[in-house]
Amino acid sequence: MDDTRLQATPLQADELRNMDRFWRACNYLSAGMIYLRANPLLREPLKPEHIKRRLLGHWGSDPGQSFVLVHLNRVIKQRDLNVIFLSGPGHGAPATLAHSYLEGRYSEIYPDRGETEEGMGRLFKLFSFPGGIGSHCTPETPGSIHEGGELGYSLSHGYGAAFDNPDLIVTVMIGDGEAETGPLATSWHSNKFLNPARDGAVLPVLHLNGYKIANPTILARIPHEELEALLTGYGYKPWFVEGDEPEKMHQQMAATLDECIDEIRAIQQRAREEGNTQRPRWPMIVLRSPKGWTGPREFGGHKIEGTWRAHQVPVADPASNGKSLKLVEEWLRSYEPEKLFDEAGRLVAELRALAPEGPRRISANPHANGGALCKALDLPDFTEYAVDVPKPATSYVSPTDVLGQFLRDVMRRNMTSFRVFGPDETASNKLTAIYEASQKTWLAQIVESDSDGGDLSADGRVMEMLSEHTLEGWLEGYTLTGRHGLFATYEAFVHVIDSMFNQHAKWLEKAKRELRWRQPVPSLNLLITSLVWRQDHNGFTHQDPGFLDVVTNKSPDVVRIYLPPDANCLLSVADHCLRSRDYVNVIVADKQPHLQYLDMKSAITHCTKGIGIWDWASTDLDHEPDVVMASAGDIPTMEALAAVEILKGLFPDLKIRFVNVVDLFRLLPDSDHPHGLSGRDFDSLFTTDKPVIFNFHSYASLVHKLTYRRTNHANIHVHGYAEKGNINTPLELAIINGIDRFSLAIDVIDRVPRLRGVGDHAKERLRDQKIQHLDYAHTEGIDSEEIREWKWAG
Amino acid sequence: MDDTRLQATPLQADELRNMDRFWRACNYLSAGMIYLRANPLLREPLKPEHIKRRLLGHWGSDPGQSFVLVHLNRVIKQRDLNVIFLSGPGHGAPATLAHSYLEGRYSEIYPDRGETEEGMGRLFKLFSFPGGIGSHCTPETPGSIHEGGELGYSLSHGYGAAFDNPDLIVTVMIGDGEAETGPLATSWHSNKFLNPARDGAVLPVLHLNGYKIANPTILARIPHEELEALLTGYGYKPWFVEGDEPEKMHQQMAATLDECIDEIRAIQQRAREEGNTQRPRWPMIVLRSPKGWTGPREFGGHKIEGTWRAHQVPVADPASNGKSLKLVEEWLRSYEPEKLFDEAGRLVAELRALAPEGPRRISANPHANGGALCKALDLPDFTEYAVDVPKPATSYVSPTDVLGQFLRDVMRRNMTSFRVFGPDETASNKLTAIYEASQKTWLAQIVESDSDGGDLSADGRVMEMLSEHTLEGWLEGYTLTGRHGLFATYEAFVHVIDSMFNQHAKWLEKAKRELRWRQPVPSLNLLITSLVWRQDHNGFTHQDPGFLDVVTNKSPDVVRIYLPPDANCLLSVADHCLRSRDYVNVIVADKQPHLQYLDMKSAITHCTKGIGIWDWASTDLDHEPDVVMASAGDIPTMEALAAVEILKGLFPDLKIRFVNVVDLFRLLPDSDHPHGLSGRDFDSLFTTDKPVIFNFHSYASLVHKLTYRRTNHANIHVHGYAEKGNINTPLELAIINGIDRFSLAIDVIDRVPRLRGVGDHAKERLRDQKIQHLDYAHTEGIDSEEIREWKWAG
């Protein structure tokens, strides 16, 4: 096992000394950010009033992160490398902030925190200070595409950044706490999806600093052999850099990094020059260094360095405790700031020379401001994929099947900047046409029997792994570095990534609203499919349309929800989403064959408006309606139309207005969302006093959440998924949740004043029909033909 | 590596032959469930009308699962073992249903599906049939505590079941698809938390059948050495059973299972008799068998067995295609049903004899119907932990700190049936007192410096791992087997387990509403803490109170949400939750010091009602109020009270009614939730026409979602988290989201008709005060003392 620790000493004495000084400058700045509100260069003795009134920040992982950054600088300069750095450990921002400040990039973006004593003081003060700088690598952090506020996604983000960036080396520092999360634990397998010929390299650095907030970490407390086996089992070649003596560690790290870069280049050369894309064993580094390295060794009889006590603020009370103040001063002075910074407060020239220049600086690398590199997709004309709809609601087509054809050609025209992601379900979700443009990415073993259905290839651009976390992480990394994609996933299980969605939406909002220097990035497009209303056969666990509730909680600046009722609307929506920037677009569309309502021209008009009256389905032309029948979603729309048809047969003079909603946020007031309708427009659609029967795709309460301030809200009666289901037929599932045609028609009869009494007999017959259909389903196992093939008679 | 595959042949010829026949009976039933609606024993030639009209179900993993079950039976009988079985692969229920039917247990519970030809026919027909039997191991499945509708949780469920069940062996069959998920990938590390002296054993069986729906699986396509390294790295000793010839495979499996049970017993003996609880290398099995083993080899020129084509229904169209029908008939007849079942349709006696008896049957093991074994917790009197509150809102206490003391004593009294779970945050969440009763579970390496803060021990009962998925999975497994627990987690990151919560709530609902034979299990108690309003210093990523929206979408039969405003209310709520059954209880309570409002007696009354007027904070005694000030949540309550005090100073004759909500579902109508208030009761609290200013912990729209049908809804104005935050002070965060005292007071002035105009000057001063406080925060980095230490003057 000895060969996993390198003994070479590639650094000359001078080089080593200066690298160590650069590192100490980073550490000085990190500690300064945590403690100081004044006296940043310690030009006078440290006094209580120099200490911040509230001490916040996380010291523990900073020195280890800075250590890696300093060494990355060396290889970047030496070999002119293109490197970005993702900081996985939570709250470890002082290290990256310090480094970007020393590279000069931080002051370029934030001139009020310049490379002067005053600027340094301001950086210190603002860190973890109200209205100031966050303790994670937030969007405000130059060079960051990974905030790390929630743990677990650094490695999948890193791989996402590396795809289709052949020149890039993505260094991902993984905290050993973070490494315990599920998303991180499976994201190691991303190496089975990275093509050394076409993609860049990912260099994971697992940072074993031993402790989380209050506990040791698992990976730091298993035997060396076990850890090595684990990482080997994940498919890597791990190199170990372990110790606490800076001099030895610098030599080890330099030797190891040289070795890793050599291996990466050799792998890439084999793939690119010899055409060998067999899955390589990519190198990685395990850095075992003390938590809070170079910080106070002990205090008050407790060990600090190397323990959980170094995780956050290692010495808690310097403003009120003289001993603590002395210790903090000694600690800060141990870095000898007077030898690191010049009179003006700027890093001395010989150290400045260690950092790369211009865009080679990690904090200035344009890949970490992906919008700057982003090119618009070359999109085919989506209208050419239109489904022929000569008459509304008379033919069945799978919307995602049609979308798949469009996406196939999007893929063909953008073979280095567009990918499709899905958990083993691209085919199941009827997006199969995409495979005509590109196979599925796969660098693990391929066997003969795969080929007749698998279409696996190292060159594939369709990403399938049974981990929604990894897919979402890849796509986030891919879009944040300026490329485009779409993630198609099972509606019930998109909740798996609720939290990732939340974090990405938060990132986009900050970047978009507050950071001019961050260029807009491609939107994250989520296609939610295998919808609740066709999960009748999969049962209760597969029925959950509640992701939309999570989405509506995020800022209206960055979230969009579309429920295209048919294939042509889906095409129009998809085209719009693929052109957009800085949003999370959620598209809800089922994969089964569904009725088609609108020809392409009508679909474009309808989707552009986002909501509208369907005249062809309405009977209120030139009249005040008796009732508004509204719908959002493909199946609810079909049932609502079928209800209209039933009602037309029963009450030929009933005036029904049919409204369909594509863009869900149209329901909100325009004061709450940029897509919201004004009160006047809303009222002109939904009236101010007529009953509205709204058949909704998801939980009914969401429509109320969006419309409660509307004039006519008291008359809006929403039907939606009521958390009732089992193994059913589609109609049975609709009936038990009350979104079926019969229940809707009954509700109309109940709500329209002039039908009360008059409609009693009809209601009874409708109830009987429900029972008959349930009986049929329970005998035959399917819905009756008249239901399965229902069409609009017009 | 050869020693990982055993060559012994422990089975005698007869035994082998009968075990193989039992297995074939399982496989026959599995295939029958997928295809047949009639002619279950093939006593006449197979005709199209015998075939179901809609073919559903998943054949692929069934034979492998049955294979394991048959072999488990052998060791259970031979050694009188106590074994349960968790089926990880999705949709693999036919195998477990078949097995439970052959054990006789299925017919005991469902007598209409008896051990007769007719009963078998009914089982076949009902499988994946509307109103019938699900294709996962749903709550309806005897012997199941793991549905597997969503993938990834089998192993954490298994460990949860094994904790504190020293006699139990939990066999967990892990699908190689499922193994790609993040939650599963990290749950392997659960072995660092299993104490061989005190806990049972978990025997993972990784089933490499090679394919997911449409793709190969990663773990089946990495070299043997890599897979072995991975599993070794996870801390297991893997044994490989690989092949497709039944005879050889039976011998290999029997030998391997013998070896594994021997190793388990040896480990337990070392721990229990010799006191050696050093983390052992627990055995596990890798079963590599063909997908759809024993099914059709090929059809229409395509390979089926051993490929992804065997995943679901291997031959799609037997009702309409003669060739297919013939193939299905040949396949079914290849199991020779006439030799497996007697004239009446019952399994022949010599095969029946292979199954264990009574509660030793896997499908009848009482641990898989945990309510049957469940004992109520021995709870201390929670009132003894009361905080002294002589005057409302004048003293500060950390509510979770108080709760910790109660939980400490709950732990002490229930040292084999209660555990507390948390992701590295039990101390951070101020539940530290628990450590006085029990240490943290840790079987990985312990070093000297841990001891002064770590309190790690193999005997610990506080479960901490940085994986919300694993913790939630453990707790689910623990409660489903009849034991009690509480999971305390960070509010923003509880979204990580949104989907697990959904699935568990669905399980509880089915079990509770539809299955008399399932006994009620302890509720799953989630303590949501580190709340949004005190995440001012951690920033935007740590601010997300939206989990409550996810919870409110689930069935009112099983979900409860409590927002105790102070420590005494928290105690009362916690006591209630720990006594309850079959719910998911969500308790929202912060860890920071907060104002205390109610003495214990008042707290009990208030929590029992769940909502109520606080007279001491109201000024409308004997009058109609001008305005209702309502609150839910600790910080919003403080700000609402501070607003009342401001208003009292400004407008001494203003009549304010103060309402506090603990039990959030009180806001719903009683028709929608068992805790809902009647219209009359709601109106008596909130009036029918007065403005209501509601200060809410979470997103404002949730209150509207719950109250939109109330008489006075149009006058309810909710303040809540508006997705605005950064690094702030607490007051600053409140102000930018409008839940602060000044904003509330301004809103009252705006809403109370008689204050319009009169209050303009006051409003201006209040706005100035907001600005002053923001200025102070941005200068000093903290809120001013008067805000930090605000108390109710009364």
Choose from A176, A498, A591, A698 for mutation: most chain B CBs within 10 A.
Answer: A498
- Cβ neighbours for A116, distance < 8 A, ≥ 6 positions apart: A344, A345, A346
Give the pLDDT score at A449. 75
Find the residue in B nearest to A156 (Cα): B182
**How wide is the angle at C-alpha B382 spanned by C-alphas B379 and B384, nearest 5°?**
120
Under 8 Å CB pairs connecting chains A and B tally to 381
- Cα A256 from Cα B168, distance rounded (Å): 47
CA A787 from chain center: how many Å? 39
- A226/B229 Cβ within 8 A: no
Report chain A residues whose CB lies below 8 A from the CB of B152.
Answer: 182
Which residues of chain A have a CB within 8 Å of the CB of B227? 233
Residue B780: exposure state from Cβ atoms within 10 A (0-12, 13-18, ≥19): middle
Please indicate whether, in this complex, the C-beta atoms of A549 and B550 are within 8 angstroms of each other. yes
Q: Which residue of A has its CA nearest to B301?
A: A452
DSSP B131-187: TSB-SS--TTSTT-S---SSSS-HHHHHHHHHTT-TTEEEEEEEETTGGGSHHHHHH
* pLDDT tens-digit series, residues B212-252: 888 899 999 999 999 999 999 999 999 999 999 999 999 99
Shortest Cα–Cα distance, A432 to chain B (Å): 11
User: Cβ of A777 and B228 within 8 Å?
Assistant: no
Q: Is A626 on the interface with B (CB under 8 A)?
A: no
Residue B2: pLDDT above 70? Answer: no
**Does the distance separating the beta carbons of B465 and A214 come in below 8 Å?**
no
Nearest to B578 by CA among B379, B408, B718: B379
Domain A612-788: assigned CATH number? 3.40.50.920
Can you tell me the distance from the alpha carbon of B442 to that of B435, in angstroms, rounded to the nearest whole number?
Answer: 13
Q: Which residue among A133, A177, A223 sits closest to B424, beta carbon to beta carbon?
A: A177
B439 in contact with chain A, both atoms CB, cutoff 8 A: no
DSSP for B271-340, written as a single string = HHHS---SPP-EEEEEEE--TTTTS-SEETTEE-TTSGGGSS-SS--TTT-HHHHHHHHHHHHTT-HHHH
Q: What is the pLDDT of residue B448?
A: 79
Q: Is A298 exposed, middle or buried (0-12, 13-18, 19+ CB in 10 A)?
A: middle
Residues 49-108 of B with CB under 8 A from A: 52-54, 56, 91
Q: Do B181 and A727 touch (CB under 8 A)?
A: no
Over chain A (794 residues), the average pLDDT of each successive run of 10 is 77 97 98 97 97 94 97 98 95 96 98 98 97 96 97 98 98 97 98 98 96 91 97 98 97 98 98 94 97 93 88 92 96 98 97 97 98 97 97 96 97 98 88 93 88 78 97 98 97 98 98 96 97 95 97 97 98 98 98 97 98 96 93 98 97 97 98 96 97 98 96 96 96 98 98 94 97 95 94 90
CATH of the domain spanning A382-594? 3.40.50.970
Mean pLDDT check: name the lowest of A777-781, B27-31, B403-407, B522-526: A777-781
Whether A542 has its CB under 8 Å from any CB of chain B: the answer is yes
- B122: chain A residues, CB-CB within 8 Å: none
A464–B214 CB contact, under 8 Å: yes
Residues in A closer than 8 angstroms to B222, CB to CB, are 192, 233, 235, 444-445
**pLDDT at residue B635 tops 90:** yes
**Chain B residues with beta carbon closer than 8 angstroms to that of A702:** 705
A621 residue type, one letter: L
**CA atoms of B33 and B458, how far apart (whole Å):** 46
Report d(CA A180, CA A230) in Å as an integer: 13
Decide if B234 and A234 are in contact by the 8 Å CB cutoff. no
Q: Which two tokens stand for residue A729?
A: 């037929």
Query: For residue B354, what are its two tokens?
Result: 């292979």
**Within this chain, domains B383-594 and B613-788 share the same CATH topology:** yes
Nearest to A588 by CA among A641, A552, A556: A552
Residues 6+ apart with CB under 8 A from A750: A756, A759, A763
**Statement: the pTM of the whole predicted model exceeds 0.95:** yes
CB contact under 8 A, A424 and B510: no
Q: Could you say which of 3.40.50.970, 3.30.420.40, 3.40.50.280, 3.40.80.10 is the CATH number of the domain covering B383-594? A: 3.40.50.970
Contact predicate A65/A87, CB 8 Å: yes
Give the per-residue pLDDT at B277: 85
- Domain B613-788 architecture: 3-Layer(aba) Sandwich (3.40)
Which chain B residues in 556-575 lie under 8 Å from chain A, judged by CB atoms?
A: none
- List the beta bridge partners of residue B168: B82
The answer to whether A213 contacts B428, with C-beta atoms less than 8 Å apart, is: yes
Residue A248: burial class (beta carbons within 10 Å; 0-12, 13-18, 19+) = middle
How far apart are alpha carbons B165 and B478 in whole angstroms?
A: 10
Q: How many helices (H) and strands (E) does chain B have?
A: 26, 22
Contact B130 A227 (CB under 8 A): no
- Pick the residue from chain A with its C-alpha nearest to B702: A705
Q: Give the 3-state DSSP-derived string for B210-227, with helices as H, strands as E and coil as C.
A: CECCCCECCHHHCCHHHH
Q: What is the pLDDT of residues B723-757, one digit of tens each?
A: 999 999 999 999 999 999 999 999 999 999 999 89
- Chain B nearest C-alpha distance from A515 (Å): 14
Which of A449, A543, A771, A780 has the most B C-beta neighbours within 10 Å, making it the best mutation to test the interface with B? A449
| Domain layout of chain A by residue ranges | 2-368, 382-594, 612-788
In the stretch 303-362 of chain B, residues with CB closer than 8 A to chain A read 303, 306-309
Which stretch of DSSP H or E encloses residue B238? strand B236-242
Lowest mean pLDDT among A206-220, A364-378, B452-466, B702-716: B452-466
**pLDDT tens-digit readout, B99-135:** 999 999 999 999 999 999 999 999 999 999 999 999 9
Cα dihedral: B624, B628, B632, B636 (round 10)? -130
A1 CB burial (10 A radius; 0-12, 13-18, 19+): exposed
β-sheet bridge partners, residue B486: B420, B525
Residue of chain B whose Cα is closest to the Cα of A724: B555
Q: Which of A134, A186, A723 sits opposite B553 (nearest CB)?
A: A723
Q: Over range B90-94, report the average pLDDT.
A: 90
Q: Is the CB of B466 less than 8 angstroms away from the CB of A549?
A: no
Q: Is A541 on the interface with B (CB under 8 A)?
A: yes
Any idea how long chain B is? 794
Would you tell me the crossing angle of helices A13-35 and A246-273 to the nearest 10 degrees?
Answer: 100
Would you state the torsion angle of the CA atoms of residues B178, B180, B183, B185, taken in this order, to the nearest 10 degrees? Answer: 120
A-chain residues within 8 Å CB-CB of B223?
445
Chain B contact for A751 (CB, 8 A cutoff): no
Confidence of residue B309 (pLDDT cuts 50, 70, 90): confident
Residues B474-527 pLDDT 10s = 999 999 999 999 999 999 999 999 999 999 999 999 999 999 999 999 999 999
Nearest residue, CB atoms, A231 vs list B233, B449, B450: B233
Q: What is the pLDDT of residues A78-87, one digit of tens each?
A: 999 999 999 9
* CATH label, B2-368, candidates 3.40.50.1390, 3.40.50.970, 1.25.40.10, 3.60.20.10: 3.40.50.970
Q: Which range is least confidently modeled, A598-607, B62-71, B312-321, B470-479?
A: B312-321
Percent of chain B with pLDDT over 70: 99
Best CA proximity match to B293, nearest among B627, B64, B555, B470: B64
Task: Note which residues in 104-163 of chain A have CB less than 8 A from chain B.
Answer: 128-136, 138, 147, 149-152
Torsion sign over Cα B65, B467, B426, B731? negative
Is A213 in contact with B37 (Cβ distance < 8 A)? no
Of the candidates A186, A449, A538, the beta carbon closest to that of B181 is on: A186
DSSP secondary structure of B661-730: ESBGGGGSBTTT-TTPBPHHHHHHHH-SSS-EEEEESS-HHHHHHHHTTSTTGGGEEEE---S--SS--H
* Chain A residues lying within 8 Å of B467, measured CB to CB: 180-182, 185
Residues 719-738 of B with CB under 8 A from A: 723, 726-729, 732
Closest CA to A566 of A617, A528, A534, A600: A600
Helix (H), strand (E) counts: chain A:
26, 22
| Contact A266/B at CB under 8 A | no
Report d(CA A702, CA A546) in Å as an integer. Answer: 9
Would you state the pLDDT for residue B454? 56
Cβ <8 Å between A498 and B493: no
Interface check for B551 against chain A (CB to CB < 8 A): the answer is: no
| B344 burial type by CB count under 10 A (0-12 exposed, 13-18 middle, 19+ buried) | exposed
CA dihedral in degrees (B465, B468, B472, B478; nearest 10)? Answer: 0
Between CA B520 and CA B369 the distance in angstroms is 9
The tokens describing A618, both together, are 């309405």
- State the pLDDT at residue B1: 42
- Per-residue pLDDT tens over the stretch B600-615: 999 999 999 999 999 9
**Interchain contact B782–A (C-beta under 8 A):** yes
- Residue A684 phi/psi, 5-degree rounding, is -70, -25
Tens-digit pLDDT profile for residues B547-588:
999 999 999 999 999 999 999 999 999 999 999 999 999 999
Residue found under tokens 């006094």 = A47
* pLDDT band at residue B84 under the 50/70/90 scheme: very high
CB-CB: which of A181, A302, A427 is closest to B186?
A181
Hey, is the C-beta of A232 within 8 angstroms of any chain B C-beta? yes
**Which residue type is seen at B559?**
V
Task: Please give the helix or strand (H or E) that residue B421 lies within, else none.
Answer: strand B418-422
At B30, list the tokens.
């599995």
Amino acid B794: pLDDT: 74
Test B307 with A449 for CB contact under 8 angstroms.
yes
Q: Which residues of B touch A492 (CB under 8 A)?
A: 150, 502
Contact A728, A777 (CB under 8 A): yes
Predicted local distance difference test score (pLDDT) of residue A90:
81
Cβ pair A780:B221 closer than 8 A: no
Closest B-chain CA to A727: B130
| CA A368/CA B94 separation, integer angstroms | 50
**Whole-angstrom distance between the N-terminal and C-terminal Cα of chain B?**
77
